[in-house]
Chain A
Amino acid sequence: MPTVDIDTDELRELTGYEDKSDEQLKDDLFELGLEYEGETDEGELRFEFEPDRLDRLSVEGVARSLRYHYGDSRGVHVPSTNGAEWTIEVEDVPEERPYVTGAIVRGLDFSETAFDSLIQLQEKLHATMGRKRAKGAIGVHDLTMLKGEAAVEGSRKTIRYTGVDPDEARFVPLESDAEMTPAEVIEDHHIGKEYGHLVADMDRVPAIYDSIGLFSFPPVVNGRRTEVTTGSRDLFIEMTGTDQWTIDHMLNIVCYALAARGGTIEDVRVEYETAPDEYPPELIRPDFSTTEKTVAHDDIETTLGIDLGEDEVLDLLERSGLAGEPTNDGEAAYDVTIPPYRVDVRHPVDVIDDVGRAYGFNDLEPRYPDIGTIGGRHERSRLERAVRETLVGLGFQDLLNFHMTDDEQVSGRMNLGDADGVLGANEPVRIENPYSEDYTIARSWLLPSVMQVLENNTHRSYPQDLAEVGWVAHRDDEQNTRVAESRHVAAALARHEVSFEDGKARLQALVESFDAELETPPTEHPSFIPGRAAEIVVDGDAVGVIGEVHPGVLVEHDLELPVVAFEFDVEALR
């Protein structure tokens, strides 16, 4: 879950509540869904929250939410913007990263904390909406260091988003003293090493030029020339990415934060040489247009389970930072305006959720729904339970083992070798990204797990009669899921004196309890002593194996007494 680090003095200043204690602020923030996690090394308070309200990734956004919560702000506020002086020309960009957006913010007077907050917001947006910069990356520049000389006298100032051969262009990246090519940055620069993989497969990498030269290599690193410091008063913000909506909304969140710091937003013109499908060739950014959702009054009442007056709904909407107006088409519904920094409102249900939060969900009275249904268990779950009950009645300890294991447990230690066509020897289902080498496949049979439990309990008293009814799987491309799943039952008798007969007696008792007929014709299975293994045939179908476990397998599991075991498919008892 995302976190936000908050300097509470900043929060007090931005909300205007100078007297609120840290404890009070923590409680207020908890009500908004920000949970206190602890103090950072810098003495800021860290809060964790759900990844829907990404407009709260910095103290400015949190302060805005609190002001709505306190009732000091109501409805939707959109900062005004000045007309565009600058243009981003987009030509010849790498097709993998076609989109760009931008804005100018003027008149800032950064304190250390305000500056840190901007840096934090940038990082947090990269980590979340930006999907670690793959989907959207932010570049913030000191505007005074940019030279956007117009190509033609009298036209606007421009910068250019384009693509370059990674070995051709040169610039001095952040945290470096020397000129480097993008290829060298990827190779040698520590930020390049971290993000270079995002552009590694591109023939031409993203690059942003002004009339002096290359100043940004998105999404990897900015140039040092335009580096922002606390002394920077005017900023140029550009964002590139794989989705225009995403970078536009990341930009909105940043612009709202800087406006809260007293910055004046100025539009930037984006001119696409070849416009992406859904966009006109020329965009004016930031896009502070609001969106509208029509929300039916009935839907609010049904979802919350209470009656609400129209005024109440409008009030709750405003307290959520939204604005509502009754629709005038005869239906009891509202046109709800969503501010441009909200990235989580996809559907009217999201508006209803906001109304519920503003109302206070915990003020709703629980009621048990008056709905009649008839419950019942799945047949397979009843069968498994019946088999377990029978095994426990026969004196077996019921086990519950992991479904994930490794080849050595399932095959090598059970002496299966390259045996074919015996229980357990089916092609296992492999896990692409195992947690560790102990969990590389799904188990193809149960007995190896039972043997492991015996192995881990040699210090406990005998007899140890153990059984498991559980899931097994193997690779089967005929299946829609490519995996054949079934439930087996396995049981083992580990005793100082035990023989085949003891196992068969219990197997027989189990099988016959389910009104099925058992036959045990001799068979060979490498996990069992030759001549003391039999196929389990239930009602004429071969479904498993029983035998005295092979001494080699026993010794492998550090066992110093004989074990008789059986395993078969539970379906045979249906």
Chain B
Amino acid sequence: MKLPETQVAVLEAASANEPRTVESLSEDLDRKPESITRAAFELADEGLLDVSESIDESVSLTEEGRTYLEDGLPEVRLYEAAIDAGGDDDPVQMGQVIGASGLEGGAVDIALSNFARKGYGGIDSGEITANPDAGGDDPEATALESIAGGDADLVTEDTLDQLERRGLIERSERTVRSVQLTDEGVTALMEGVEVAEEVDRLTSEMLTSGEWRDVEFSEYNVAADAPEIEGGRHHPLRSMAERVKDVLVGMGFSEMQGPHADAEFWINDCLFMPQDHPARTHWDQFGLDVPPMQDLPEDVRERVEAAHREGVGEDGEGYHSPWGEDMARQIDLRGHTTSLSARYLSGIAEGDLEPPQRFFSIEKAYRNDEIDSTHLLEFFQIEGWVMADDLSVRDLMGTFTEFYEQFGITDLRFKPTYNPYTEPSFELFGEHPVTGEVVEIGNSGIFRPEMLEPLDVDCDVMAWGLALERLMMLVTGAEDIRDVHGTLVDLDYLRTEEVRY
């Protein structure tokens, strides 16, 4: 019979007459108890060994227990000091006795409470008396000695309970396994057992030949460190974008796409941004050195120009600002992705839209801003809008409350603000999911008639926008956006940043 090495050793060491504990085998064979146990059960499965189990209770001293064993129980020390001070005749000052006993700190309280419990004497008004008849061996002190000497069975159960309550001993139970040869085991030994070969790697040959049945696999140190590997991972900012897209799609939003380089007409004029608006005239946006846009939809252009010049509706008023087609046709890198909303609303992107609709995009926008820890020249703008008849500010609040709660941002506040293309308009503030402080988390509003009517939309549209980077920094605690986005990124960051979902 061929058996793995450990099994052979256990089989040979076991006796048919008396049980042997795993511990003793482990000691004799110089192998870990776990290996012996495993081998024993494997042999039991083969019917060669019986494994029996019993419960062994052990008692051991705690550190405090060991201290008292050495120094004496505090109450005993107190009693002895009291006797020495003459406390068996007359009450003596407690301070004096404690000083003489050498007890300090918490031990004093322990001594006083047990002193009384055990009838060693009385304590009254800061004076202590000792009961002269209470001397002699303290059973708890004796028990500590017995336990330390390995004779815990000499101690009564009551005393053990008392010592455990005082935290002087620890009692534990463990399973003791013992093995004994079966008749089959004896027979196998008589017939002779050989050690099977131990192998390092499982090979396909072993599997196909069936050799794996006869080999023992060498044990690995499975707790050891493994080499680091760098699998492929998604970029954290991209993962954040994907998560936001999931949320929005789940809320019924469809995704928009469109040109990054676009005419100011779609970027600004359709949004009722006057052409002499500071953001349009002071290089806040990146102009492109290309000829002007070739085609603008003539009807939309006329209506947009009229809105700028005269406003819309009976009481409407325009901007009292110049408006020229040259500027409208100038091509820029879009300063916001609201240009996509303008394109979709106008019907030029996907044809005329009938309410209700929900649309979003998470795409790049470009601003000629100062670069710092929270601003880059390029950022991902989350842009979303809902088109329906008769939308109210309450619908806007409800929608955005729902959206931000998906990211742990609660207690949304709406600060009325001004945007050229929305009215009413709100800056959104919410509670930071980590620090709890109130932070700005977006901008929103209901698109103005001066924007919607030229685009031939005759229902309400509410919209909001925020930077994906801002949301990511809030959710992940990232502190400097320059570490996240761009060619200066540290691969170590990309390789080790926590995966979020």
Contact = CB atoms under 8 A, between A and B. Distances in A.
Interface in A502-555: none
Q: Is the interface of A mostly helix, strand, loop or mixed?
A: loop
A371 to B, nearest CB: 4
Interface string B244-285: 010011111111110111110000000000001010010100
B261 A429 contact: yes
Given A246-B320, A347-B450, A376-B255, A51 B491 contact: no
Interface string B479-501: 00000011111111011000000
Given A397-B491, A399-B489, A361 B315 contact: no
A398 B242 CA distance: 13
A53 to B, nearest CB: 8
A291 B356 CA distance: 35
A368 B398 contact: yes
B313 A471 contact: no
Contact of B368 (A348, A435, A457): A435
Nearest to B311: A346
* Range of interface residues on A (Cβ < 8 Å): 35 or more
A349 B449 contact: yes
Interface string A344-386: 1111111011001100011011111101111111101100010
B424 A356 contact: yes
Interface stretch (A151-159, A204-212, A220-228, A297-305): A297-305
Nearest to B462: A369
B166 interface: no
A369 B391 contact: yes
A147 B494 CA distance: 75
Given A403-B364, A457-B490, A347 B397 contact: no
B232 A396 contact: yes
Interface residues of B, number: 101
Contact of A432 (B257, B289, B417): B289
A8 interface: no
Contacts of A135: 276, 321
B245 A381 contact: yes
Interface stretch (B19-27, B51-59, B182-190, B291-299): B291-299
Contacts of A361: 393, 414, 416, 424, 426
A378 B257 contact: yes
Contacts of B491: 397, 453, 457, 460, 464
Given A431-B288, A435-B371, A461-B230, A373 B357 contact: yes
Contact of B492 (A352, A374, A460, A463): A460
B253 A364 contact: no
Interface stretch (B109-117, B156-164, B200-208, B233-241): B233-241
A255 B397 CA distance: 39
Interface in B195-233: 228, 230-233
Contact of B486 (A293, A364, A372, A402): A402
B287 A392 contact: no
A360 B120 CA distance: 76
Contacts of A460: 490-492
B232 A394 contact: yes
Contacts of A381: 245, 255, 257
A305 B492 CA distance: 51
A79 interface: no
Interface string B411-442: 01111111000011110000000000000000
Q: Top 6 A-B pairs ranked by shortest CB distance?
A: A305-B392, A366-B397, A50-B418, A305-B394, A482-B290, A452-B487
14 contacts: A33-B417, A135-B276, A302-B390, A348-B313, A368-B395, A369-B391, A371-B386, A392-B231, A392-B232, A398-B234, A398-B238, A400-B238, A402-B377, A482-B293
Interface of A: 33, 50-53, 131, 135, 242-243, 245-246, 291-294, 302-306, 344-350, 352-353, 356-357, 361-362, 364-369, 371-378, 380-381, 385, 388, 391-404, 429-435, 439, 442, 449, 452-453, 456-457, 460-461, 463-465, 467, 471, 473, 475, 477, 480-483, 485
